[in-house]
Structure 1
Amino acid sequence: MTSEVEELKKVVAQLQKDVRRLSDQEEVRKLQYIYGYYLDKCLYKEVAELFADHQDTCVEFLGGRYNGKEGVKRLYVQRFANKFANGRNGPVHGFLLDHPQIQGIVDINPEGTHAQGRFRSMMSAGTHESVKDIHPRGLVQWWEGGIYENEYIKENGVWKIFRLKYFPFWHATFEKGWSHTQENYVPFLSKLFPEDSEGPDELCERPMMWPDTRVVPFHYEHPVTGDQVADDDMRAPNYGADPSTSAPPLVLSKPKSHS
């Protein structure tokens, strides 16, 4: 009888761990979806408050890294708000900027304190013809596809975004599509803060943009083999060319406190 009770205790303990892990996964996934809904409507103050109050918190975007909560606010509350909504926190009439968050894969560490997540965004954006004369973008409509490889942290029992790494994989005008995207369609960030009052704190190594099709590294191993994808298979050489002729594989940054 004693052995049966001990076995039941082990089963219950394992079930508790599984429930906690699944609950954490859902909370992180929900957090990322909420991020997308706020971003859709230019609610940049709300976006910034989803991030952790940690020294290694950051956002990586267009080849730049915005560090700490202040850097996060500089990107969203200043740069994005000024660019898309004339400094307003909230939407402006006739401007579309949808950021659906899809294909979410979330993994929680054994301690339940950190998580990693990979998401895809397929953005549609543009202006309505009725506002073409008052919005600085004029009359425009475009597509964007990107990959997130993010880190999350639980602070005081609440999951928050820790390190958001967004790779805007491709851009395209609505009329011509991605086959005709001009090189340097959206320029990488090049000037740092404070020279650029809305600029990043650092520049990232080897940023990518379509037609560059290198693989954004996966935070997880292959679920069957347990292996990571080989470095050469992460590259994107020209058709028929040797992988060594292409740009080096991308590497995900790590928090300075973990290096």
Structure 2
Amino acid sequence: MTNTDDIAALKEEMAALRDEVGLLKDRNEICALQYKYGYYLDKCLYDEVADLFAEDGVATFLNGVYRGKESIRRLMCGWFRELFTGGHNGPVYGFFLDHLLLQDIITIAPDRQSAKGRFRCLMLAGTHESRPQVPGMPRACWEAGIYEHTYVRENGVWKIGVYDYSLLWQADYEKGWAVGGALLPPLTKTYPEDPNGPDELLPSTPPVWPETRVVPFHYPHPVTGAVWSGDPVGKRPENMGEK
């Protein structure tokens, strides 16, 4: 090889390494973004949570779709904040909402302007006996679900573009998850009829425990390359003999 060839090969290697480092940096920033979301949510810092979203972000929660950052503020700073802290932005005496995020899988788009992320959520919530319960909730409860988000780079900063939380199960702590079911009722009204309501209602609320389901994976199988396309809803007892 000539010196010119050597230089060209080094430049090519440097470019590849630069891209690899960039992807690693993006992944770390997105992972940190989602974890910071969890820490803010833990302490009922709903203004801070809303500021993590892109201007044209979309959030799906239960059977409601909130479109745009101002609509997402209705979800976070309206419904959630009023329900859990009586309108106060921040922690309140006698209420906790520990929000664990685990098993992160992040896939960066080739242009590095968007990404997909999957996280498992395990949540513990409780109201101390010295204060009134949160309406519609037991004093202590569990919740679990899957986040399948889209992230976008907006003005050079990674933000949440599409927020899609699939609630899988909730359970009263005293009774346990063997008898658990949904604690939160489905949404029935849109904004402005409901001041904190979504812009759109989905046709139905996705099933929760004791139903079991697969939240679709944004990524292909890492060995076969196949995209999973099975039945997302678990087989019911009356159909267990079917293949």
Q: Shorter-chain-normalised TM-score: which range?
A: over 0.9
With structure 1 as the length reference, what TM-score do the two structures score?
0.87
Bigger drift between 60-69 and 124-133 goes to: 124-133
**Structure 2 counterpart of 1:203:** 201
Q: Distance in 1 between matches of 2:74 and 2:241?
A: 42
**Structure 2 counterpart of 1:227:** 226
**Structure 2 counterpart of 1:162:** 161
**Structure 2 counterpart of 1:53:** 55
**Cα 1:226/1:139, change in 2 over 3 Å:** closer
**2:235 is paired with a residue of what secondary structure?**
coil
Q: What CA RMSD, in Å, does the superposition of the two structures yield over aligned residues?
A: 1.7
2:234 to 233, 236, 243: 236
With structure 2 as the length reference, what TM-score do the two structures score?
0.93
> How far has the Cα of 1:139 moved from its partner?
6.5
Q: Does 1:131 align with 2:131?
A: yes
Q: Distance in 1 between matches of 2:136 and 2:188?
A: 22
Bigger drift between 173-182 and 72-81 goes to: 173-182
**Structure 2 counterpart of 1:246:** none
Amino acid of the residue matched to residue 50 of structure 1? L
Alignment of 1:101-120 (within 5 A): 101-120=101-120
**Structure 2 counterpart of 1:33:** 35
- Deviations for 1:121-158, whole angstroms, at most 9, x for unmatched residues? 1000011112247x656861000001000000001100
> Which consecutive residues of structure 2, in runs of 5 or more, have no partner in the other structure?
none
Q: Does 1:171 align with 2:173?
A: no
* Contact map agreement 2:61 2:164 (CA 8 A) in 1: yes
**Cα 1:241/1:63, change in 2 over 3 Å:** farther
> Which consecutive residues of structure 1, in runs of 5 or more, have no partner in the other structure?
244-259
1:22 to 7, 21, 24: 24
> How far has the Cα of 1:176 moved from its partner?
1.3
**1:210 is paired with a residue of what secondary structure?**
coil
Amino acid of the residue matched to residue 109 of structure 2? N
Q: Which has the higher strand share?
A: 2
Amino acid of the residue matched to residue 141 of structure 2? W
- Deviations for 1:10-57, whole angstroms, at most 9, x for unmatched residues? 111000000000100000000000000000111000000000012xx1
- Deviations for 1:204-232, whole angstroms, at most 9, x for unmatched residues? 34422112211100000001100011233
* Contact map agreement 1:36 1:99 (CA 8 A) in 2: yes
Amino acid of the residue matched to residue 94 of structure 2? G
* Contact map agreement 1:81 1:89 (CA 8 A) in 2: yes
Amino acid of the residue matched to residue 47 of structure 1? V
**Structure 2 counterpart of 1:255:** none
Q: Distance in 1 between matches of 2:137 and 2:208?
A: 24
**Structure 2 counterpart of 1:5:** 7
**Structure 2 counterpart of 1:251:** none
* Contact map agreement 2:122 2:142 (CA 8 A) in 1: yes
**Cα 1:241/1:235, change in 2 over 3 Å:** farther
2:188 to 187, 190, 197: 190
**Structure 1 counterpart of 2:65:** 65
